[in-house]
Amino acid sequence: MAEPPTADERVLAVLRASGVFGSLEEPVLQDLGRFLHLQTIPGGAVVLREGEPADTMFFLVSGRLRVSRRDAQGVLQLYNEIRPGESVGE
């Protein structure tokens, strides 16, 4: 049975699939990968808030991330859904 991928292998796989970084050469991806880390975020958690400065870029490895906000009546409106391999943030 094959071993599950390591955290580093998962990070590199996401970078390779990324529209932002996927065209970079492998040594550059590996250098960049050293600055990234995997983070597990529980369902329903707020990752970024509209209007607050963001100094982090998130690449989704698994699951989904819903981009939403409340309208004037307080109803939650879904604007987008980030899927594995996609990114959000600055």
Q: Which amino acid belongs to residue 82?
A: I
Q: Say how far apart CA 69 and CA 61 lie, in whole Å.
A: 23
What is the chain's pLDDT, residue by residue, as a tens digit (90 residues)?
788 888 888 889 888 888 888 899 999 999 998 988 888 889 889 888 888 888 888 888 889 999 998 899 999 999 999 988 888 886
Domain ranges of the chain: 7-41+58-89
DSSP letter (8 states) at residue 52: S
Query: Does the pTM exceed 0.85?
Result: no
